[in-house]
């Protein structure tokens, strides 16, 4: 269950929880919806987020992966309302060796998903976290060449989450 006495509540799961609306396909007039992640289970996601809101769960952070891209998102109960309170921060990591979606596609998706603060599919890597009682620091790491074990590793992006203030902020 959720701890109301501790500053952090980490939920590890296998995919992206944030809504991910995709641009219409060529020749289509409708918006595409990605159903492999939690977007395919909107009622279950809404129930989970409503529990976070009702219980005022502190420091809710969702950790995911297996989408071949890095995402950072602010999770809200109402996705289209930027004034709705942020209920949790999400960090979804990529893989080190498999290829991801074209960056051009992810850039187009960002315009339809303002709650997603970062999306990269063109770099491989991992996320390094530092956690204290007061803050979580996330350093999204990228390898220069995933085929070279001696490849340089750099920071793709850095975010922080303050324990008392849900939502990732660029560092």
Q: Evaluate if residue 23 carries a pLDDT over 90.
A: no
In degrees, to the nearest 5, what angle opens at C-alpha 50 toward C-alphas 45 and 54? 160
> Which residue intervals of 56-121 are DSSP H helices?
103-112
For 41-55, how does the pLDDT look when each residue is reduced to its tens digit (9 = 90+)?
999 999 999 999 999
pTM for this predicted structure: 0.93
Q: Evaluate if residue 31 carries a pLDDT over 90.
A: no
For 98-143, how does the pLDDT look when each residue is reduced to its tens digit (9 = 90+)?
888 999 999 999 999 999 999 999 999 999 999 999 999 999 999 9
Retrieve residue 135's tokens.
């803050």
For 55-85, how does the pLDDT look when each residue is reduced to its tens digit (9 = 90+)?
999 999 999 998 999 999 999 999 989 899 9
Retrieve residue 15's tokens.
């995919």
Retrieve residue 119's tokens.
């999306």
For 3-15, how does the pLDDT look when each residue is reduced to its tens digit (9 = 90+)?
999 999 999 999 9
- The mean per-residue pLDDT over the stretch 10-26 comes to 90
> Which letter does DSSP use for residue 169 in this model?
E
On whether the CB atoms of residues 38 and 15 are closer than 8 A, the answer is yes
């Amino acid at each position: 269950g959720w701890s109301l006495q501790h500053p952090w509540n980490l939920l590890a799961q296998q995919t992206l929880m944030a809504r991910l609306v995709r641009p219409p396909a060529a020749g289509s007039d409708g918006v595409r919806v990605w159903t492999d992640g939690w977007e395919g289970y909107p009622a279950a996601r809404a129930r989970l987020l409503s529990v976070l809101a009702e219980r005022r769960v502190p420091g809710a952070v969702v950790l995911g992966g297996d989408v071949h891209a890095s995402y950072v998102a602010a999770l809200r109960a109402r996705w289209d309302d930027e004034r709705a309170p942020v209920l949790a921060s999400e960090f979804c990591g990529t893989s080190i060796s498999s290829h991801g979606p074209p960056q051009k596609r992810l850039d187009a998706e960002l315009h339809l998903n303002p709650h997603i603060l970062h999306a990269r599919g063109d770099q491989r890597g991992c996320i390094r976290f530092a956690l204290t009682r007061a803050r979580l620091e996330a350093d999204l790491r990228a390898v220069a060449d995933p085929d070279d074990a001696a490849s340089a590793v750099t920071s793709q992006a850095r975010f922080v989450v303050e324990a008392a203030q849900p939502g990732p902020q660029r560092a």
